[in-house]
Amino acid sequence: MEKALWYLLAGTRGGKNRARIIRLLDERPRNANQLHEELGLDYNSVRHHLDMLEDHDVIESGDQEYGRLYFLTDRFDRHRDRFEAITEHV
């Protein structure tokens, strides 16, 4: 998970926005449209970041198709300290 977090947050251009998404999902689950509105990012960009985070097991989504909510995974929770350390360097 640490390597994935370094890649997602520090190794690519969208790292700061992915960190912002993680912080919002830490407050409460949200769907892509809510994240788009709260972050002021293009909806398709938000979807791209969500896909990247989901592919690396940082977030998971609910079962419903419309208004799908996203949650942080238990695996991410076990590595939260690494997330905090990495974001200090970004």
Dump pLDDT digits (tens) for 11-47.
Answer: 888 999 999 999 999 999 999 999 999 999 999 999 9
Task: Please tell me the pTM assigned to this model.
Answer: 0.92
Dump pLDDT digits (tens) for 58-81.
Answer: 999 988 777 899 999 999 999 999
pLDDT of residue 12: 85
Please, which residues have CB within 8 angstroms of residue 36's CB and are 6 or more apart in sequence? Answer: 42, 43, 46
pLDDT of residue 86: 95
Average pLDDT over residues 41-56: 96
Query: Cβ–Cβ contacts within 10 Å for residue 34, how many?
Result: 16
On the 0-12 / 13-18 / 19+ scale of CB atoms within 10 A, 64 is exposed
pLDDT of residue 64: 79
How far is Cα 70 from Cα 11, in angstroms, rounded to an integer?
Answer: 23
